[in-house]
Amino acid sequence: MENRQSGGHIKSWRKRYKFPLIVMITTIIIGSSLNIVFAEKDISGLLTEWFQTKKSESIEDVERAIIEEQKVQTERLKAKLQEEIEEANTRLQEFTEDEKSKRIEAIRNYADELLESIDTRETELMADIDEAINEIINHAMDEIDEVYEQNIINKEEN
């Protein structure tokens, strides 16, 4: 009979602890499932945050690269423009000097032609003409110099 009683004791123990054991196992399973769900949300949040950070860093890197390249190209453009201005100024000065020389030479040649056509016996008349021609030449040279200086001033203002 003892076997029965001891066997009955086991059955009653099983009945008594069966329900709390099931509740505890169910709670553990549900709790574990919630941890997995929260872990997925945490991983998703971490990934979203990481992507946002990388996106911001990438945008900042691109902006920095653009700003640096803009500075480089601006300096390059300034240098090239300065070169072009200096070359244009040199060409303008050369052109002005050439034109000045040509005009002076033309005026002198004209004056020489006039002098040759005048009768050499009348030295007084020739002296007056020579003086008048020299005045014309000097006046023409002064006007050429004024035009040249105005071109230089206008160029410097631009």
pTM, entire model: 0.39
- Among 110, 98, 100, smallest CA distance to 134 is for 110
Retrieve residue 115's tokens: 């002098």
| Sign of the C-alpha dihedral computed for residues 121, 125, 127 and 132 taken in this order | negative
Rounded to whole angstroms, the Cα distance separating 47 from 14 reads: 48
Per-residue pLDDT 10s for the chain (158 aa) are 444 445 555 566 666 777 777 778 877 776 666 555 555 556 777 778 888 888 889 889 999 999 999 999 999 999 999 999 999 999 989 998 999 899 889 888 988 887 777 655 567 777 788 888 889 888 888 888 888 888 777 777 76
Report the domain count for the chain: 1
Range of the domain at 127: 2-157
- Among 59, 142, 67, smallest CA distance to 107 is for 142
Q: What is the pLDDT of residue 1?
A: 42
Q: What is the pLDDT of residue 2?
A: 46
- Among 52, 55, 53, 51, smallest CA distance to 63 is for 55
**Which CA distances in Å does 29 have to 19, 22, 34?**
15, 10, 9
Q: What is the pLDDT of residue 118?
A: 63
| Sign of the C-alpha dihedral computed for residues 127, 128, 133 and 135 taken in this order | positive
Rounded to whole angstroms, the Cα distance separating 45 from 59 reads: 21
- Among 62, 82, 67, 85, smallest CA distance to 155 is for 85
